[in-house]
Amino acid sequence: MTISRRNLLKGAAAAPLASMALPAFAQDKIKIGFIFLGPVGDYGWTWAHNKGREAVEAALGDKVETIYTENVAEDASAEAAIRDLCNAGCKLVFTTSYGYMDQTIKVAAEFPDVKFEHCTGFKRADNVSTYNSKFHEGRAVLGTIAGKMSKSGTLGYLGSFKVPEVVLGVNAFALAAQKQNPAATVKLVMIDSWFDPPKEAAATETLVNLGCDVVTTHTDSPAALQILEQKGLFGFGQGADMSTFAPTAHLTAIEDIWGPYYVARAQAIVDGTWASADTWDGMKEGTVVISPYNAAIPADVAALADGVQAGYKDGTYDIFTGPIFDQDGVERVKAGEVMALADLAVIDWFVKGVESAS
């Protein structure tokens, strides 16, 4: 029972893994290490982070070399794994899951000369930065499409845990859908896991039975999409384009693109300009990317979705613009105001129209 983002393995036969023995003679290149939660061959969370690592190799391959450890549990073994990378001579270490937060801080204190980048956490130090992605911007695009495509006006949201990332996703999805269909409601089921295909499948059937005709998932397997495909309904991919699993049901997907950030941070190490920071990139910076649209999306709906994307890229659109009411009808954000990033980062309430058990 870990809060793992164990995603789906994909890609027939992962490319033969190059031997990564730690050669002592390669002193001229700067070493950069990565700690991964799942296998690099999963097709979601870790796969996306590994793509980011490959982007670093491609962009700075003559100056840096990368090493990584996959399938690292979020317990004491993470501490050992991070320390191994430091001992192997890494000057920059990316720890790519929330559960490595305290371990990263602890090891960072032991290696003041090594810089650390912790994904989705909030604890920083002089040599520890944090970074995150505005997944909810993508969720706003999905909500726009779902609000238009749903006949029943009842949308489903398959969640994992009630953490800010998921709450933001739910709210962005619901608010965007309500812009298209003010009566739209979102039924939310949290399955207490990032990965449990049978439960994801059963939860999707349940949501469909309760009237949802478009279901989005914030869990990592394509199980929901497969159920929706069988029922002739619609859904979205999570973390990566999952259209192979559900060619008709898959409307589009939110893809996590870490490459630009990783390259920039690696470059900063090479240049000697790295400084501790808290970065929260989104569509504008290219961290959140929307997959190609399914042909089933009518042109006018696609145009609306493109509008949201364009708005995020030029800074004219923010789904968390007031008035926003919570589930009890209390006004949380006044008309015209935009929620601050600091408030978004700790959000724990759902907007009006979200039907949830907690």
Partner 1 sequence: MDFTIAAIITIVGLTTPILLAGLGELVVEKSGVLNLGVEGLMLVGAISGFGVTVFTFNPWAGVLGAAVGGALASLIFAVLVLQLNSNQVATGLALTIFGTGVSSLIGVNFTGRIVAPFGSIFPDALARDPFWKLFFGYSPIVYFAIIMVFVVGWFLKRTRAGLILRAVGENDLSAHSIGYSVIRVRYMAIAFGGAMAGIGGAYFSLVITPMWAEKMTAGRGWIALALVVFAGWRTGRLLAGAYFFGILMALELYAKAAGFSFLPSQFWAAMPYAMTVVALAIISSRGTAGASAPACLGKPFTPST
Partner 2 sequence: MRYKLEKRREPSMAMLVITPVASVIVTMLVGILAFDALGVDGWAAVRDIFLTPLLASHKWQDVAVKAAPLVIIALGLSVGNRAQVWNIGAEGQYVIGALAAAGVGLAFGQAGGFFVILAMIAAGCLGGALWALIPAVLRTRFSVNEVLSSLMLTYVSLQVLGYLVGGPWKDPNGRNFPATAPLPEGQMLPALDGSTIHLGIVVALILPFAFWLLMSRSTFGYQVRVVGSSPHAARHGGFDAKQTIWATMLIGGAMAGLAGSLELTGALHKVDLGFASGYGFTAIIVAFLGRLNPFGCLLAGIVLAVTSVGGQLAKTTVHIPDSTAGIFQAMMLFLILASDILIRYRIAKRA
Give the footprint of partner 2 on this chain (CB under 8 A).
Answer: 1-4, 16-22, 39, 67-77, 79-81, 83-85, 87-88, 98-99, 102, 110, 122, 161-164, 167, 192, 345-346, 348
Q: How far is the CB of 230 from partner 1 (least distance, A)?
A: 6
Residues that bind partner 1 (CB under 8 A): 6, 8-14, 39, 41-43, 156, 187-193, 195-203, 205-210, 221-223, 226-227, 230, 244-245, 355-358
Angstrom distance (rounded) from CA 308 to CA 172: 12
Q: Which residue has the tokens 């980048």?
A: 117
The least distance separating partner 2 from the CB of residue 83, rounded to whole angstroms, comes to 8
Say which entry of partner 2, partner 1, none residue 245 contacts (CB below 5 to 8 A, set by partner kind).
partner 1
Strands 90-95 and 30-35: parallel
Q: Give the one entry of partner 1, partner 2, none that residue 205 binds, where binding means its C-beta sits below a cut-off of 5 to 8 angstroms depending on kind.
A: partner 1
Single-letter amino acid code for the residue at 332: R
Interacting partner of 80 out of partner 2, partner 1, none (Cβ under 5 to 8 A depending on kind): partner 2
Indicate the residue among 84 and 355 with the shorter CB distance to partner 1. Answer: 355
CB of 58 to partner 1, least distance (A): 23
**Closer residue to partner 2 in complex, CB, 39/197:** 39
Q: How far is the CB of 64 from partner 1 (least distance, A)?
A: 28
Report helix, strand or coil for 90.
Answer: strand
The label of the residue with tokens 């029922």 reads 231
How is residue 332 written in tokens?
A: 């949380």
CB of 154 to partner 1, least distance (A): 11
Instruction: Please tell me the distance from the alpha carbon of residue 347 to that of residue 358, in angstroms, as a whole number.
Output: 14
DSSP state of 9: B
Nearer to partner 1, 26 or 183 (CB): 183
CA pair distance 31, 166, nearest whole angstrom:
34
Q: Report the residue number, 102 or 355, with the smaller CB distance to partner 2.
A: 102
Could you check whether the bond before residue 323 is cis, i.e. omega within 30 degrees of 0?
yes
Q: Tell me if 211 sits within 8 A of 231, measured CB to CB.
A: no
Other CB atoms closer than 10 Å to residue 351's CB: what's the count?
23
**3-state SS assignment for residue 31:** strand
16: number of Cβ within 10 Å: 6
Partner interacting with residue 203 (select from partner 1, partner 2, none; CB below 5-8 Å by kind): partner 1
CA 67 to each of CA 28, 35, 282: distance values in angstroms, whole numbers, following the listed order: 15, 9, 26
Query: Least distance (Å) from partner 1 to the CB of residue 219?
Result: 11
CB-nearer residue toward partner 1: 154 or 309: 154
The option from partner 2, partner 1, none interacting with 111 (CB < 5 to 8 A, set by class) reads none
Measured from the CB atom, the residue of 1 and 12 that comes closer to partner 2 is: 1
